[in-house]
């Protein structure tokens, strides 16, 4: 499955020194079963504003943060609440974006529009829900699909779900933002007793933040790194029997992708060291 996007911009100068208007033509090709082609034409004629959209009539747009999980300020723990099932995914009839409808029950208990739910570790915003059908919808931006493993999902796929934490929530895992740093590829699975070893290959840019016995979020699951294989750009972790039964990772095959989010504390430390903060403190 592949995603590609391109944008061209043209502007026209209006009379009376009016602001410039722009025409946005977005051609977007999501998974093979879905095809998106939208044309937005904005025409400004003082003093009125006319908006035309082909092929669907435009309704009030969803806020940008609802289309891009990376811009929502929420916090998770990496403790998966339930596994949901993808019911539908494709082009939205409302605004031409890409929607994903998911079946879930626990995460809908106290849901509201605009709430954040981590789907395989990706923070996404609820744009619609139906408690009677136990379904909710989230919007996906092209950038979200490019940077995460959500591009591999299809109707019937199972995903990890977790609601954003509240001040009263127990911190059972670690600080998870739902801001996926990149993906990894499962390159090995090995059974040992009732436990399961998983080996993941990723990029050096992500691997530099991973340490033995440190935290790593894999498809939204807070896990402990066991060993690094620097020469292979790999790391591994072990899943106990209970975890295997309650997350999607064991269901994936060798060669499939997983979402990865490193421990944010490592990034803060790197930032402080590179800014000269430590040297300034020593000389103070």
Active-site annotation holds for 43: no
Active-site annotation holds for 141: yes
Q: Which residues neighbour 79 within 8 Å (Cβ) at sequence distance 6 or greater?
A: 162, 172, 173, 222
Nearest residue to 111 via CA among 85, 134, 83? 134
Active-site annotation holds for 76: yes
Hey, what are 199's tokens? Answer: 């080996």
Active-site annotation holds for 42: no
Active-site annotation holds for 234: no
Catalytic residue among 76, 136, 235, 237: 76
Catalytic residue among 38, 74, 77, 141: 141
CB 76 within 8 A of CB 123: yes
- Rg, C-alpha atoms of the chain: 22
3-state SS, residue 61:
coil
Q: Which residues neighbour 164 within 8 Å (Cβ) at sequence distance 6 or greater?
A: 74, 75, 76, 115, 116, 117, 118, 123, 178
Active-site annotation holds for 179: yes
Catalytic residue among 179, 183, 234, 237: 179
Catalytic residue among 77, 125, 144, 148: 125
Q: Which residues neighbour 209 within 8 Å (Cβ) at sequence distance 6 or greater?
A: 181, 262, 263, 266, 267, 270
Distance CA 122, CA 259 (A): 8
Distance CA 84, CA 76 (A): 17
Distance CA 178, CA 123 (A): 4
CB 33 within 8 A of CB 89: no
Catalytic residue among 77, 92, 116, 137: 116
CB atoms within 10 A of CB 148: 27
Active-site annotation holds for 202: no
Catalytic residue among 74, 77, 98, 123: 123
The catalytic residue positions are 76, 116, 123, 125, 141, 179, 224
């Amino acid at each position: 499955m592949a995603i590609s996007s391109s944008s061209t911009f043209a502007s026209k100068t209006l009379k009376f020194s009016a602001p410039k208007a722009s025409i946005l033509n977005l051609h977007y090709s999501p998974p093979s079963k879905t095809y998106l082609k939208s044309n937005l034409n904005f025409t400004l004629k003082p003093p009125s504003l006319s908006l035309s959209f082909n092929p669907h009539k435009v309704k009030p747009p969803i806020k940008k943060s609802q289309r891009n999980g990376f811009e929502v300020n929420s916090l998770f723990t990496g403790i998966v609440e339930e596994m949901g099932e993808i019911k539908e995914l494709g082009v939205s009839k409302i605004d031409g974006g890409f929607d994903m409808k998911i079946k879930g029950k626990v995460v809908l208990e106290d849901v509201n529009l605009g709430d954040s739910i981590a789907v395989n570790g990706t923070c996404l915003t609820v744009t619609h829900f139906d408690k009677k059908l136990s379904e909710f919808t989230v919007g996906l931006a092209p950038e979200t699909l490019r940077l995460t493993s959500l591009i591999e999902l299809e109707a019937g796929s199972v995903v990890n779900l977790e609601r954003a934490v509240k001040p009263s929530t127990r911190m059972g895992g670690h600080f998870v933002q739902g801001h996926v740093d990149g993906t990894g590829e499962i390159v090995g699975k090995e059974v040992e007793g009732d436990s399961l070893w998983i080996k993941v290959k990723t990029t050096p840019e992500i691997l530099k933040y991973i340490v033995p016995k440190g935290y790593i979020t894999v498809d939204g699951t807070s896990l402990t790194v066991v060993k690094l294989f620097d020469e292979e750009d790999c790391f591994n972790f072990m899943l106990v029997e209970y975890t295997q039964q309650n997350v999607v990772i064991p269901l994936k095959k060798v060669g499939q992708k997983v979402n990865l989010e490193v421990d944010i504390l490592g990034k803060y430390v790197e930032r402080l060291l590179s800014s000269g903060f430590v040297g300034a403190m020593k000389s103070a």
